[in-house]
Structure 1
Amino acid sequence: MPGQSTPIAFTVGARRVFCVNRELEPVVFSLEEALAGSLPTLPPLAREIDGMRVLSAPLAMASAIRTRFPNHIAGAQEEFRRHYIAMDGSFEDYLAQFSGKTRSTLRRKAKKFASADGGTLDVRAYRSRAEVAQFLDLAQPLSQRTYQARLLDAGLPDSEEARAAMLADAAAGNMRCFVLFLAGEPVAYLALPVRGDTLVYAHLGYDPAHASLSPGTVLQMEALRLLFAEDRFRYFDFTEGEGTHKALFGTHSIACCSFLLLRKTFANRILLGARNAFDAGVAQVKAMTRNGGSLASARKLLRS
């Protein structure tokens, strides 16, 4: 089975400095698998595959997973809280979990956005194959303007294969997409594949020109209101990675990690060693600045 050309990125904060590609087989834990502590089915790796990219594994299982692959080197481990929403109640039940101050802030943001657009929120939902095709036509140009696309290479995928996969999911009833409009123009989008009873937080983006109106937050809340009304889903999975947005909207979390398992070759040893040294240097710079070190000292350390 062919792997995926995967960039092993050297990053400072959200900015990618450079990357090295490897052919890796993704091993992705669904939220249900992570909560149950069960390992996904692992296909045998073809000879030309450099290894695996393990995504969103329960932190408690990381050691056991590495032990199962003694001929691989583990590295580039990232640890995070995997936030999710348990959708076993109503939207009103969900809102009740926020503090009064947070509920007030969310209402104020929605009212502010609506006031900028004549007094109502224009949020449109897309789920059929034809509707999701329309969603992609609206959201793709917007995605190119988002910081997710410009800085993180994480905008909406624009390949024919990715489009076909989303349309196939939509035809099977397994896509939920939303767009928030302002004066008739799209300013934020949200794309959610459906996996079983779980909504997967795949792509959220908004026009930075309207950041002061909090379009991402406004769209997230309105989409959740519509999704709770379907009374179909068990979880809303915010997937891997930390973030204030995920922490705010999530009701629960589980300690997870993502890491690489590369074949034990000289080149892979050098690559993972360089990545680990780079991450350690970035962490040292961050610690220095937090502890009162000057910006000039931080720059000097980065140059050394």
Structure 2
Amino acid sequence: MNRAEPLPLRFQIGARTLAAVERHLVRVPLSLGQVLDGEAPTLPPLSARAHGYLVTSLPAVQLEAVMAAAPGMIAQVRQRYTRHYADLGIGFDAYQAALSGNTRSGLKRKTRRVMEVSGGLLDVRRFRTPEEMQRFHDIARGISRRTYQERLLGGGLPDDTAFLHSLHALAAADSVRAWLLSIAGEPAAYLYCPVAGGIVRYDHVGHDPAFNDLSPGAVLMLEAMRDLYAEPGLTQFDFTEGDGQHKRSFATHGVACLDLLLLRPSLANRATMVALDVFDRSAAWGKRAVARLGLEALAKRVRR
């Protein structure tokens, strides 16, 4: 039986969480392989203390089937997005051709600019073995500490014992790839990707905000994709849950997905669902109003 864990249901605007309600939920995260195989997931039994399920990356076409498998539970779609991925079997030339013209020209310009600042060099280092991965982690942590993802969201490259153990175990099994980009001799961006069953997963990424104007993350991403297309046996690059311009730019395919919250029909759970729905609708209305007034830049600064 999958164990329920305390998970916060966030009342969130952008990166800022205004409040949260904790519920004990059984997480049912779908891998890219499960998303692509076309079969609806099976929900595990709930323990007596569990409030319900959180199903993530559920293909939208499977929504009705999953809800039918949980009769009596109350449901809410928390977010909708495209699960982006890149087909690693088409070759790098075909991959580049699949990118939009604007993306290709932008990447050429950004790469050229990084090389100009670095004295004509594109300084990308690759990491794969346990010894290499330790060096990668030491340097990448220095970048991660300066990112807003770590400072505001706690979403930087982990440095706890469990992650380091996983990093070394994956490297020993040749199941992880990592890259670092330096600009003018200074570490600027990192990318960390586990590999399982031929699928490369976009796990941890970050760049030093001092290099924002040079788009180091995009430059590094292209070089990582170049390496992966040259490696036999890989099938897809999984950009994981959630949407974003970076993912849309580098993906070749996508599946319409959603995150589904299923709760037992208690009074407290019903009240939570109503509160979340009202908040989300209000936030969506506010976002539309901000867009109409042309205040997106100001709203972004306030959220951060």
TM-score calculated relative to the size of structure 1: 0.89
Tell me which amino acid in the other structure corresponds to 1:218: V
2:276 paired residue number: 275
1:217 paired residue number: 218
Once the 2 structures are TM-superposed, how far is the Cα of residue 123 of structure 1 from its aligned partner?
1.2
Match of 1:230, SS state, is: coil
Once the 2 structures are TM-superposed, how far is the Cα of residue 87 of structure 1 from its aligned partner?
1.2
Tell me which amino acid in the other structure corresponds to 2:277: N
Q: How does 1:1-304 map to 2 (within 5 A)?
A: 1-40=2-41, 42-292=43-293
Contact 2:86–2:253 (8 Å) recurs in 1: yes
Residue-by-residue CA offset, 1:172-223 (whole Å, 9 max, x unaligned): 2221111112243321111111121111111111111110010110110011
Moved more, 282-291 or 193-202: 282-291
1:131 & 1:267 partners in 2: Cα distance?
A: 50
2:51 & 2:159 partners in 1: Cα distance?
A: 26
Aligned CA RMSD, in angstroms, stands at 2.3
Residue-by-residue CA offset, 1:75-106 (whole Å, 9 max, x unaligned): 25211111111111221221122344432221
Once the 2 structures are TM-superposed, how far is the Cα of residue 277 of structure 1 from its aligned partner?
1.0
Q: Structure 1 pair 146/70, CA: closer, same or farther in 2 (3 Å)?
A: same
TM-score calculated relative to the size of structure 2: 0.89
Q: Structure 1 pair 49/246, CA: closer, same or farther in 2 (3 Å)?
A: same
Once the 2 structures are TM-superposed, how far is the Cα of residue 119 of structure 1 from its aligned partner?
1.4
**Structure 1 residues not aligned, in runs of 5+:** 299-304
Q: Structure 1 pair 138/263, CA: closer, same or farther in 2 (3 Å)?
A: farther
Q: Structure 1 pair 227/293, CA: closer, same or farther in 2 (3 Å)?
A: closer
Contact 2:57–2:258 (8 Å) recurs in 1: yes
2:202 & 2:262 partners in 1: Cα distance?
A: 25
2:100 & 2:42 partners in 1: Cα distance?
A: 41
Contact 2:88–2:228 (8 Å) recurs in 1: no
1:302 paired residue number: none
1:294 & 1:170 partners in 2: Cα distance?
A: 46
The ranges of structure 1 where at least 4 consecutive aligned residues each deviate by more than 6 angstroms after the TM superposition are none
Q: Structure 1 pair 91/257, CA: closer, same or farther in 2 (3 Å)?
A: same
Contact 1:174–1:193 (8 Å) recurs in 2: yes
Once the 2 structures are TM-superposed, how far is the Cα of residue 65 of structure 1 from its aligned partner?
0.9
Once the 2 structures are TM-superposed, how far is the Cα of residue 293 of structure 1 from its aligned partner?
9.2
1:39 & 1:131 partners in 2: Cα distance?
A: 39
2:294 & 2:96 partners in 1: Cα distance?
A: 42
1:172 & 1:294 partners in 2: Cα distance?
A: 49
1:231 & 1:293 partners in 2: Cα distance?
A: 48
1:25 & 1:173 partners in 2: Cα distance?
A: 31
**Structure 2 residues not aligned, in runs of 5+:** 300-304
Moved more, 245-254 or 281-290: 281-290
1:134 & 1:46 partners in 2: Cα distance?
A: 43
